[in-house]
Structure 1
Amino acid sequence: MITMKRIGLFGLVAALVLFAGCQATGGDDDDDPPPQTDAVIVDHTSIDIDGIPSTRIDQAKQTLHIAYGHTSHGSQLTTGMTGLVGFKGTQYAYNAGGASGALDLRDYYGDFGGLGVAGDLGNPDRTAWAGATRTYLNQNPTVNVIIWSWCGQVDGTEAEIQQYLDLMDGLEDDFPNVRFVYMTGHTDGAPLTGNVPNRNKQIRDYCLANNKILYDFADIESYDPDGDYFGDKLVNDACDYDSNGDGTRDSNWAVIWQNAHPGEWYDCESAHSQPLNANLKAYAAWHLWARLAGWDGN
C-alpha cells in the first residue's frame, strides 16, 4: 500500500511538472526582460538619445529578442536605426539574431517572419497579422517582443480599431512572456477633428487606460526636436504643414529644422518623409528598447 501511494504521488508531481512546461508560451529565455506593470508611452518626449543610460542599452541587447512587421511607413524606424550607427556609434547596431553584441531585431519588411501571410497591420487585411504572429511565436519561442506598424490603414472605423486592440489583447493573454508594442498610424494631413487623429487617440487612450506599451508614431512626427507642435497645422507624413492657417500645406518642419541645425542630424532613408523624421523614430525606438529592458525613462 505504501509503495502504491508513493507511485501515485510521484505520478501526480510528474504530471504537474509536465503541465507547467506546456504552459510556457513565447519568450522562452532565461534573460527575459523584467515584467511590465504600468503603461509605457514612447512619443515626442522620448527622443533624447544621449539621455538613455548605456547600461540600459546593453541590457536591451542582452535581453530583448524583437520581431518587427511593417511596410514602407514603418521602415522609417529601422532605416533611422541603421543610419544612427554611423552617426552615434556601433553601440546602436542591430541585426537578426544579435550577432557580435548587436540588438536582436528581426526586421520584416512586407512579409512578417517569411510566412507569406501578412505585411503590416492592414495588409492584406486587418486580421492576418494576428494569425501570423501566433504562428511565428510558436516557431520562434525565444522572441520576447513583437511590434507591428500601420501603413495608412489606421484610417478605419472605430470598430476596426477596436478589433486591432482586441486582437492585441488576446495575444497578450495567450503569450504572457512576450511584450506586444501597440502603435499609432502616421499623420495624414487631417485636422484634429479628422478620422486619423481620432483613431490614433482611440489607440492612445486605450493604452493609457490599460497599461499597454505604445510607440506613438503619429505623435513623434507632430513635433520638431525643439518641441514645436505641428499636429494642429494639417501636418502629414512628409512633415509638410500649413504655416499660416489658410488650409494649404506650404512649409516643412523637418526641412526647416535640418537647415537650421547642420551637423545635428544625419542623412538616412526615410520613406515618404525627410531624414529627420527617421532620426526621431530611431531615437524613440532606442528609448523603447531601453524601457523594455527595465529603464524607467528618467
Structure 2
Amino acid sequence: MKKHLFPLLVLSFVVMATSVKAATVIDYRYTDASSLSQTELDNARKQDVLFNHQSVGSNIITGLDTMKKADPGRYSISMKASQDISWYDTYDGINHFKEGANGAPSGKISGKKNLVATYNSKIDVAFMKFCFVDVSADLDALWIEYRDAMEELESTYPNIKFIWWTMPITINGSQDRDSFNANIRNYVNQNNKILFDIASIESHDPSGNAIKDSGYDAMYSGYTDDGGHLNTSGQARAAAAIWHLFAVTAGSGGNTVPTPTPTQTITPTPVPTGSTLSFSDILSCELSEYIVDLYNLGVVSGYADGTFKPDNGVTRAQMSKFIVKAFDLQVNTGGTKFPDVTDMSAELNTYIQTLKNLDIVNGYSDGLYHPNYIVTRGQVTKYIVETMNEIIGQDLTELGLSSYFPDVATNSTFYKYITVLTTLEVDGERIIKGYSDGLYRPDEDLTRAQMSKIVSLSREYLVSAGYLQ
C-alpha cells in the first residue's frame, strides 16, 4: 500500500547555480519540451531545486509527474515535499514547500527567505510563485517588497540561481495584476535576470495568439476548468516550460525557441465551455480546484442559482451525499430509519441510511439524526476516517499517530481521527491542516469548500493506494 506521510510545506520558488549575462525569459514560446535534447534533459534533472508554491504550483507539479509517467526516459525527475534537509544529499530534483498563505503574499516572500536560509548549502536553483488570488493585495507595495527580497537573496547567496516569476492570471483581466507583471518583466530585462513568465504561458492559446479581457491579459479558457487553476492541458503547458527553464539553469541551452514566433493576434477571451465554470462564486476561493474535482466526479452539483456557496456550512444531510458519492459506497437502504429524515428527498434518505448501516453515522441521544445540523471540523474527521477504514478494512486510528494541534486534547472525541488526516498526504499535501495560528478549531463549522478539499484528497489517497478506481 502506498502511503503518503508527513507532508512538507510548499514554497513558491526554485533555486539553481551560475550567473546569467543577459535576461532569460521563459514564456509562451517555450511550451513544447520535445525540442529539448536528451542531454539537455539529463543535465536539467541533476539540479537541486527549491520551489515554494500553493495550488497552481501543485498543478505544475502534477503536470511534471504526468510527463514523467508518459515518458520516463526523457522526463523522469525526483520530486518531494519534504522538510528533511538531507533529502538533497540523496536526490536531485525538486523539493517543494507551501510556506505562506494565499491572499497574504508577504508571508510567501518571508517563507521563501526562511527556506533559502535553511537549505542554501544544498540547492542550486530556487523560486517561489504568487497565486492569482494575491491580486487582492496592494500590488505596488508588493512589487517593491518582492524586488528587494529577490535582490537580497541574490546578493546573499550568489551560488544559487533565483528565478523571478510573474503572477498567475485568471480568465478575467486585471489592470493591477497586469501592472505588477509589467514591473517584473521590465526589471528582469533591465537587470539581466531569469524570468518564468507564467502569465504569458497562460495568456496565449496553443497557436500563440494573445488572450485579452477588457484589454488585459486573460487565461485561455482551454487551460482551466475553474477560471484560475490549471487543468490537464494547462498543466502540460506549464510543465513543459519548466523543463526549458531547468535546461537554461543547468547551462545546457533550453532557451532556443522551438518554433517560429507566431504573430500575436489579440483575441477576445473565449467563453469557457463545460459546466465547471457555472459556479459563479468559486473563482476567488483558494480551494476551488477541489470543488471542480468533485464536480467532475459527479459528487457535487451546486445550487439552482448556479452558485456553489463555498463558505456555507455543510449540513449532516449534505455530508452524507458527499461521502457516499465520493467514495463509491454501495447503497444500502435497509433497516430502521431515523424518524426525522422521512420527509427529506429519497436521494438524501438513501445516503443517510447507507452511512447509518455502515455505522459511520449515528443519531443523537434523542434518537434523531438532525439532518440540518451543521457538521463541525472535528466531526468530519470521524466520518471520513471511518469511511476509509470501511474501504481499506483496517482501523487507521490504531497506527499510534500523534496530533500537534494545541487545541485538540488527547482525550478529545476526535483526536484520533484528526491525527490520521493530518498525517496522511497526497503529493505532499496533508488531507487536513490547521490555520495560520497553529490551531485546528475542531468545534468550528465546516464549510462546503473545506469539505470539498478533505473529501477530494481522501479519495485521491485511496485511489493512489489502489482501493478506489
Common fold: TM-score over 0.5:
yes
Aligned pair count?
230
Percent sequence identity is 23
Which residue is equivalent to 2:29? 45
Distance in structure 2 (CA, Å) of the matches to 1:103 and 1:185: 27
- 1:105 maps onto 2:130 in alignment: no
- 1:150 maps onto 2:130 in alignment: yes
Deviations along 1:59-115, one digit per CA (max 9) or x if unpaired, are 1223x1101010112222211101111233343122245799x8511122x24xxxx
**Which amino acid counterpart does residue 146 of structure 1 have in structure 2?**
A
Deviations along 1:221-263, one digit per CA (max 9) or x if unpaired, are 00122112213466655x4xxxxxxxxxxxx33489xxxxxxx
Q: Is the 8 A contact 1:40 1:211 kept in 2?
A: yes
- Tell me which structure has the larger Cα radius of gyration: 2
Which residue, 284, 289, 296 being the options, matches 2:241?
284
After the TM superposition, which of the residue ranges 43-52 and 85-94 deviates more from structure 2?
A: 85-94
**Which amino acid counterpart does residue 94 of structure 2 have in structure 1?**
L
Q: Is the 8 A contact 1:143 1:178 kept in 2?
A: yes
Deviations along 1:18-46, one digit per CA (max 9) or x if unpaired, are xxxxxxxxx9xxxx854322111111011
Deviation at 1:121, TM superposition (A): 9.6
SS of the residue 1:153 aligns to: helix
Distance in structure 2 (CA, Å) of the matches to 1:146 and 1:294: 15
With over 3 angstroms needed to count, the CA separation of the structure-2 counterparts of 1:281 and 1:44, relative to structure 1, is same
Distance in structure 2 (CA, Å) of the matches to 1:90 and 1:125: 38
Which residue is equivalent to 1:168? 150
Gaps of 5+ in 2: 1-14, 81-86, 257-469
Which residue is equivalent to 1:3? none
Q: Is the 8 A contact 1:69 1:119 kept in 2?
A: no
Gaps of 5+ in 1: 1-26, 112-117, 240-251, 257-269
- 1:89 maps onto 2:72 in alignment: yes
After the TM superposition, which of the residue ranges 277-286 and 80-89 deviates more from structure 2?
A: 80-89
**Which amino acid counterpart does residue 164 of structure 2 have in structure 1?**
Y
**Which amino acid counterpart does residue 185 of structure 2 have in structure 1?**
R
SS of the residue 1:46 aligns to: coil
Distance in structure 1 (CA, Å) of the matches to 2:224 and 2:160: 38
SS of the residue 1:176 aligns to: coil
Distance in structure 2 (CA, Å) of the matches to 1:161 and 1:207: 13
Matches within 5 A, 1:212-291: 212-232=193-213, 236=218, 239=220, 252-254=221-223, 272-291=229-248
Q: So what's the TM-score if we normalise by structure 2?
A: 0.45
Distance in structure 1 (CA, Å) of the matches to 2:247 and 2:159: 17
Q: Is the 8 A contact 1:59 1:293 kept in 2?
A: yes
Distance in structure 2 (CA, Å) of the matches to 1:137 and 1:120: 23
**Which amino acid counterpart does residue 278 of structure 1 have in structure 2?**
Q
**Which amino acid counterpart does residue 145 of structure 1 have in structure 2?**
V
**Which amino acid counterpart does residue 253 of structure 1 have in structure 2?**
G
